[in-house]
Amino acid sequence: MKIDWQIAPVSDWQVDVLVFFGMEDSPEPLPGFERWLNAQGQWLSGSSVLRDFQGKLQQTAVFYGPPGSKVPRILLAGLGGEEKFDAEKLQTATAAALRKCRELRLKRVGLPLFALHGLSVPVGKALEETLIGGLLGLHRFDEFKTREVPSSETPGSLVLLDENEPDEDLRAAPHFAESVASGVCLARDLVSSPSNRVTPGFLVETAKGLAKRFGFRLDVIDSERARSLGMGAFSAVAQGSGEPAYLILLEQVPSTPEKTAPLVLVGKGVTFDTGGISLKNRDQMDAMKQDMAGAAAVLGVFETLGRLKAGGHVIGVMPCTENMPGSRAYKPGDVVKSLSGLTVEVISTDAEGRMILCDALTYALKFQPAAIIDLATLTGACIVALGSEVAGVMGNRETLTKEILDIGAGVGEKYWPLPLWDFYFDHLKSDIADFKNVGDRSAGAIVAGTFLKQFVPEDIPWAHLDIAGTAWADKELGTAPKGATGFGVRTMVELVLTWPELGIR
């Protein structure tokens, strides 16, 4: 879907449908609608359909103008109750509206900017969220469907309508929204794609593509080099698979002459997690193609930053491998030496995420980062604790954790903090090595976070995002079809863009 502008008097607006938002129980239930009625829509003012529309979230109502109307249809899209209104509701309502337009096969959808006035968010932000919600809500992964009409055909364009030339802020919104949505959709597509397509090598190719398009620096460490560098934990996981493993490093170097400490984003890239020798149950093992969602999110962030040409010094570190029970696979009871020098006794080969992440975290230290954030589909326990719509946040700075919570709330991604108190380390005490890779079943998400914490010095702000639940949705969400969500991209983009103002150290 393209985003266009038409700046013209109301009477000249020409679209297949005009969208207005509606609120439940609000003194001004339909922002901007009066204005259009007065200018154009007298045919509508007496319609009883207006009374049937309650403004419930995701509710839509379509009504038709008399023959010959330049605007033959009006679509009302519900935002829900006024007191619960936030940016996410706007995304959800727009997604519902545009899905309705797709169902009706409408090509040219109009959005009057005055429909966004009078909401409790500034118009610029409202427009951004509307556009992002619309683009994300329409996104489908249908690459492998050969028998269906590609879903990208309708709506062909969303036309932003105004009578006067909009200010620069508003003018910039479409490019911002398209950049963000492209990043989220790249992450989604990578996660949706099966593991026989998205191998570690495929992720390398994707990173190469980004580096080429946007001028990022790229370094790819293959398993041989990883081994010789001393990444014993990453290599242990990689050696069970015939598919070559890679540690991908992608760097956006700012053009400013002064050197700034980079923000490092680490993403778990297990392209398929069988559990290894600690083999997973056969039920729903296919879902384990999603185990590279952390790396996909990091690549998504780079897609967005590249398009925006913004964000300063950022480095992505993505350890990518399959976790397979091959003949050379690492085994329960093995002891491996990580890049940090710390030794790990492997109790479960299914706790492979922390094994590859610990070496990635240690490697990240050499960039003298301003902060490290890791994203990983790390534990089923996090899903048990928080469900599949909330990601767990752990770390060593309350300021950073809080910032992630707040940014997430502003863009429609939910996070909740879990503690990393020192005593949790008791779960990881080993008789023969520095520690084990798993404890018993209790506090599984926290114990995984505690494992990672061993590899991050206190003086570096660090946050760990467990996205095991949120990377994939078993049902359709407001702005995502059933399946991969692209979770994390939006929060990380916003964190990167606002980082200089946050003052976290």
Between CA 241 and CA 328 the distance in angstroms is 8
Between CA 299 and CA 321 the distance in angstroms is 16
DSSP letter for each residue of 159-175: EEEESS---HHHHHHHH
Between CA 111 and CA 6 the distance in angstroms is 10
- SS3 sequence, 429-462? CCCCCCEECCCCCCCHHHHHHHHHHCCCCCCCCE
Q: One symbol per residue from 303 to 342: x for binding ligand BES (CB under 6 A), - otherwise; what is it?
A: ----------------------------------------
Nearer to Zn ion by Cβ, of 251 and 350: the residue is 350
CA angle 298, 302, 307 (to 5 degrees): 150
Q: What does the buried/exposed string (b/e) look like for 288-317 if buried means 16 or more CB atoms within 10 Å of the residue's CB?
A: bbbbbbbbbbbbbbbbbbbbbeebbbbbbb
Beta strand pairing call for 157-162 and 2-7: parallel
Q: What are phi and psi of 367, to 5 degrees?
A: -85, 5
One residue of 379, 470, 479, 491 binding ligand BES per CB under 6 A = 379
Stretch of 2-10, 191-199, 268-276, 434-442 contacting Mn ion, by CB under 5 A? 268-276
- Contact status: 291 vs Zn ion (CB under 5 A): yes
Q: Report whether 344 contacts 362 (CB < 8 A).
A: no
Nearer to ligand BES by Cβ, of 128 and 291: the residue is 291
- SS3 sequence, 84-139? HCCHHHHHHHHHHHHHHHHHCCCCEEEEEHHHHCCCCCCHHHHHHHHHHHHHHHHC
Stretch of 73-81, 102-110, 197-205, 379-387 contacting ligand BES, by CB under 6 A? 379-387
One residue of 209, 380, 410, 417 binding ligand BES per CB under 6 A = 380
Least gap, CB of 275 to Mn ion (angstroms): 5
Nearer to Mn ion by Cβ, of 273 and 466: the residue is 273
- Contact status: 430 vs ligand BES (CB under 6 A): no
Q: Report whether 114 contacts 30 (CB < 8 A).
A: no
Q: Quote the tokens at residue 301.
A: 């962030």
Least gap, CB of 427 to ligand BES (angstroms): 10
One residue of 177, 180, 351, 452 binding ligand BES per CB under 6 A = 351
In 163-230, at which residue ranges do the beta strands (DSSP E only) sit? 217-222
Stretch of 8-16, 104-112, 123-131, 377-385 contacting ligand BES, by CB under 6 A? 377-385
Between CA 389 and CA 477 the distance in angstroms is 9
Stretch of 144-152, 249-257, 310-318, 346-354 contacting ligand BES, by CB under 6 A? 346-354
Q: One symbol per residue from 335 to 374: x for binding Mn ion (CB under 5 A), - otherwise; what is it?
A: ---------------x-x----------------------
- What amino acid positions are annotated as catalytic residues? 280, 354
Stretch of 258-266, 288-296, 410-418, 462-470 contacting Zn ion, by CB under 5 A? 288-296
Q: Which residues pair with 20 in a beta bridge?
A: 76
The residue sitting closest to ligand BES, measured at its beta carbon, is 380
One residue of 276, 353, 412, 483 binding ligand BES per CB under 6 A = 353
Between CA 416 and CA 365 the distance in angstroms is 26
Q: Which residues pair with 265 in a beta bridge?
A: 316, 373
Between CA 149 and CA 314 the distance in angstroms is 39
- Contact status: 291 vs ligand BES (CB under 6 A): yes
Interacting positions 115-174 with ligand BES (CB under 6 A): none
Q: Quote the tokens at residue 101.
A: 């337009």
One residue of 129, 322, 350, 374 binding ligand BES per CB under 6 A = 350
- Contact status: 353 vs Zn ion (CB under 5 A): yes
Q: Which does 444 bind (CB under 5 to 8 A by kind): Zn ion, Mn ion, ligand BES, none?
A: ligand BES
- Contact status: 322 vs Mn ion (CB under 5 A): no
Number of residues lying near Zn ion (CB under 5 A): 4
Least gap, CB of 266 to Zn ion (angstroms): 15
Q: Which residues pair with 7 in a beta bridge?
A: 162
| Four-CA torsion 147, 186, 98, 151, nearest 10 degrees | -10
Number of residues lying near ligand BES (CB under 6 A): 15
Interacting positions 256-285 with Zn ion (CB under 5 A): 270, 273
One residue of 24, 88, 178, 273 binding Mn ion per CB under 5 A = 273
- Contact status: 444 vs ligand BES (CB under 6 A): yes
Instruction: Please give the residue ranges that form the binding site for Zn ion (CB under 5 A).
Output: 270, 273, 291, 353
Binding site for Mn ion (CB under 5 A): 273, 350, 352
The footprint of ligand BES (CB under 6 A) covers 273, 291, 348, 350-353, 377-381, 438, 444, 468
